[in-house]
Amino acid sequence: MIGTPGNARSALKSAFRNYASPLGGILGVAPNNTEGYGLVNALSTALSMLPIVSAQTSHFVSATSPIAAALIYLLLVLAVVFFVIHFFSGRRAA
Protein backbone atom coordinates (compact mmCIF):
# COMPACT_ATOMS: atom_id res chain seq x y z
CA MET A 1 0.00 0.00 0.00
CA ILE A 2 1.37 3.40 -0.98
CA GLY A 3 0.02 5.49 1.91
CA THR A 4 1.54 3.55 4.80
CA PRO A 5 3.95 5.24 7.24
CA GLY A 6 6.64 2.72 6.34
CA ASN A 7 6.42 3.62 2.66
CA ALA A 8 6.54 7.32 3.50
CA ARG A 9 9.71 6.84 5.56
CA SER A 10 11.25 4.76 2.80
CA ALA A 11 10.45 7.43 0.18
CA LEU A 12 12.01 10.18 2.32
CA LYS A 13 15.09 8.07 2.98
CA SER A 14 15.52 7.37 -0.73
CA ALA A 15 15.07 11.04 -1.63
CA PHE A 16 17.74 12.16 0.83
CA ARG A 17 20.11 9.47 -0.43
CA ASN A 18 19.55 10.35 -4.09
CA TYR A 19 20.26 14.07 -3.57
CA ALA A 20 23.10 13.81 -1.03
CA SER A 21 26.19 15.82 -1.96
CA PRO A 22 29.39 13.79 -1.88
CA LEU A 23 31.98 14.85 0.68
CA GLY A 24 35.08 16.45 -0.80
CA GLY A 25 38.42 14.66 -0.47
CA ILE A 26 36.91 11.21 -0.03
CA LEU A 27 38.47 8.54 -2.17
CA GLY A 28 36.19 5.76 -3.28
CA VAL A 29 32.49 5.50 -3.91
CA ALA A 30 29.63 6.49 -1.66
CA PRO A 31 27.96 5.08 0.29
CA ASN A 32 30.63 3.61 2.47
CA ASN A 33 30.86 2.68 6.13
CA THR A 34 32.79 5.82 7.12
CA GLU A 35 31.11 8.74 5.34
CA GLY A 36 27.74 7.23 4.49
CA TYR A 37 26.00 8.90 1.56
CA GLY A 38 27.54 12.38 2.01
CA LEU A 39 26.08 15.70 3.07
CA VAL A 40 22.32 16.06 3.05
CA ASN A 41 21.20 18.58 0.44
CA ALA A 42 17.82 19.53 1.88
CA LEU A 43 16.96 22.09 -0.83
CA SER A 44 17.53 19.66 -3.71
CA THR A 45 15.60 16.98 -1.85
CA ALA A 46 12.64 19.30 -1.17
CA LEU A 47 12.60 20.58 -4.76
CA SER A 48 12.60 17.01 -6.06
CA MET A 49 9.38 16.34 -4.18
CA LEU A 50 7.46 19.31 -5.62
CA PRO A 51 5.01 18.61 -8.42
CA ILE A 52 6.13 19.63 -11.89
CA VAL A 53 3.81 22.07 -13.63
CA SER A 54 3.85 22.09 -17.38
CA ALA A 55 2.21 25.00 -19.17
CA GLN A 56 2.46 26.67 -22.50
CA THR A 57 4.73 29.69 -22.70
CA SER A 58 2.09 31.85 -24.35
CA HIS A 59 -1.68 31.89 -24.51
CA PHE A 60 -3.71 33.25 -27.38
CA VAL A 61 -7.28 34.48 -27.26
CA SER A 62 -9.07 35.34 -30.45
CA ALA A 63 -10.45 38.86 -30.40
CA THR A 64 -13.65 37.62 -32.03
CA SER A 65 -14.31 34.81 -29.57
CA PRO A 66 -17.29 35.10 -27.20
CA ILE A 67 -15.00 35.35 -24.17
CA ALA A 68 -12.93 38.17 -25.69
CA ALA A 69 -16.09 40.03 -26.73
CA ALA A 70 -17.47 39.76 -23.19
CA LEU A 71 -14.20 41.04 -21.72
CA ILE A 72 -14.07 43.99 -24.11
CA TYR A 73 -17.70 44.84 -23.30
CA LEU A 74 -16.98 44.64 -19.57
CA LEU A 75 -13.96 46.94 -19.93
CA LEU A 76 -16.03 49.45 -21.88
CA VAL A 77 -18.80 49.42 -19.26
CA LEU A 78 -16.28 49.90 -16.46
CA ALA A 79 -14.65 52.78 -18.35
CA VAL A 80 -18.02 54.51 -18.81
CA VAL A 81 -18.95 54.01 -15.13
CA PHE A 82 -15.58 55.36 -14.03
CA PHE A 83 -15.95 58.40 -16.33
CA VAL A 84 -19.47 59.17 -15.07
CA ILE A 85 -18.45 58.89 -11.41
CA HIS A 86 -15.36 61.01 -11.98
CA PHE A 87 -17.20 63.63 -14.05
CA PHE A 88 -20.09 64.11 -11.62
CA SER A 89 -18.13 63.83 -8.39
CA GLY A 90 -16.89 67.45 -8.62
CA ARG A 91 -20.34 68.96 -9.28
CA ARG A 92 -22.51 70.00 -6.36
CA ALA A 93 -26.09 71.23 -6.43
CA ALA A 94 -26.41 74.91 -5.48
pLDDT tens figures, 34-87: 666 666 667 777 777 777 777 767 767 677 788 888 888 888 999 998 888 877
Structural domains in the chain (count): 1
**What are the tens digits of pLDDT across the range 9-43?**
888 888 777 777 666 666 666 666 666 666 666 77
Residue 66 resides in a domain: no
Could you tell me which residues come within 8 angstroms of residue 26 by beta carbon, excluding any fewer than 6 positions away?
Answer: 32, 35
Q: Is 61 part of any domain?
A: no
C-alpha distances out from residue 6 to 1, 12, 86, Å: 10, 10, 65
Measured CA distances, 74 to 1, 59, 71 (Å)? 52, 21, 5
Task: Assess if residue 71 is contained within a domain.
Answer: no
Position 89 in a domain? no
Domain that holds residue 32: 5-49
Residue 30 in domain? yes
Q: What pTM was estimated for this model as a whole? A: 0.39
Q: At what angle do helices 5-18 and 42-49 cross, to 10 degrees?
A: 130
